[in-house]
Amino acid sequence: MIGEKAEGRTVLRITGGDRTHFLHGLVTNDARPGQLVYSALLSPQGKFLADFFLLDRGDEILLDVASDLAPGLFRRLSMYKLRADVKIEDSGLSVARGLGDAPESALADPRHAELGWRAYGVQGGDPQINWDAIRVSHCIPETGIELIPEDSYILEAGYDRLHGVDHRKGCYVGQEVTARMKHKTVLRKGLVTVEIDGVAPVGTEIMAGDKPAGTLFTQSGGRAIAYLRFDRAGGDMTAGDAVLRWSEAGQHDA
């Protein structure tokens, strides 16, 4: 049984002779020795199920995931394991993260330099950091807010920009859909940072005139992360009582 952690993260330990090959065939990015890697597990239809960090420590791979996703991820990985020489268990390790001075064992967050460092099994971090402000500034989605299991597509969520998918690694669950979105279509929807006057609850529908144009998510300092239909976005839009503006110029590369 995978339990809750006070800090909201669970670290699974994956061991056994087949561990690397096992993960390679399932997730969007491969574990690399000594590096912290951002990755995800998708459904066969290419929908997001869970995002996590992988750390290959030689004789084991650590998987750092949001605690509320950990039980479902554990069950799904166990289902895929079949007869492979793989063992999955709760490591019991704590997760620390912060900016600036870091523990000796800390590793850079691979999604963006402004997200600082992460470390395992050590005390540290600064609870006063406004992580939402950093996320909004750089359009970095969060599990359970912008990243919605069984609904989100990772390329619309910016996984290329966040170094969370390797398009050269070969087959993994959901790879065909992801590859088709990458190579055969132009994204018509996705997460962007918008300017906002006023506030509205996360999940509020965004309207462009009388047409639905997307959904509002995390807000901080007059800016917000929004999921937009690009063909309808532009000019003043509304989300409840708030007014939104989006400029395609200056957005992060998709």
Domain holding 69: CATH number? 3.30.70.1400
120 and 84 inside one domain = yes
Structure confidence at residue 28 as a pLDDT band (50, 70, 90): very high
pLDDT (0 to 100) of residue 241: 96
pLDDT (0 to 100) of residue 39: 98
pLDDT (0 to 100) of residue 249: 54
In a domain, residue 40? The reply is: yes
Sheet of 107-108: strand order equals 95-98, 117-120, 107-108
17 and 79 inside one domain = yes
Q: Which spans in 97-243 are helix H?
A: 131-138, 175-183
83 and 146 inside one domain = no
Q: Look-up: residue for tokens 């007869």?
A: 83
Q: Decide which of 72, 92, 126 is a domain's last residue.
A: 126
Total number of domains constituting the chain? 2
For 204-237, how does the pLDDT look when each residue is reduced to its tens digit (9 = 90+)?
A: 999 999 999 999 999 999 999 999 999 999 899 9
Structure confidence at residue 124 as a pLDDT band (50, 70, 90): low
pLDDT at 186 over 90: no
In a domain, residue 217? The reply is: yes
Q: Decide which of 126, 152, 171 is a domain's last residue.
A: 126
Least confident range from 3-17, 143-157, 215-229: namely 3-17
pLDDT (0 to 100) of residue 252: 52
Q: Range of 152's domain?
A: 136-245
3-state SS, residue 63: strand
Distances (CA, A) of 157 to 145, 173, 183: 11, 18, 16
115 and 141 inside one domain = no
- Please say whether the beta carbons of 218 and 139 come within 8 A: no
Residue closest to 151 by CA, chosen among 161, 159, 143: 143
Instruction: Give me the CATH number covering residue 228.
Output: 2.40.30.160
For 67-118, how does the pLDDT look when each residue is reduced to its tens digit (9 = 90+)?
A: 999 999 999 999 999 899 999 999 999 999 999 888 899 999 999 999 999 9
229 beta partners:
189
Can you say whether the dihedral through the CA atoms of 2, 27, 114, 252 is positive or negative?
negative
Q: Decide which of 78, 107, 126 is a domain's last residue.
A: 126
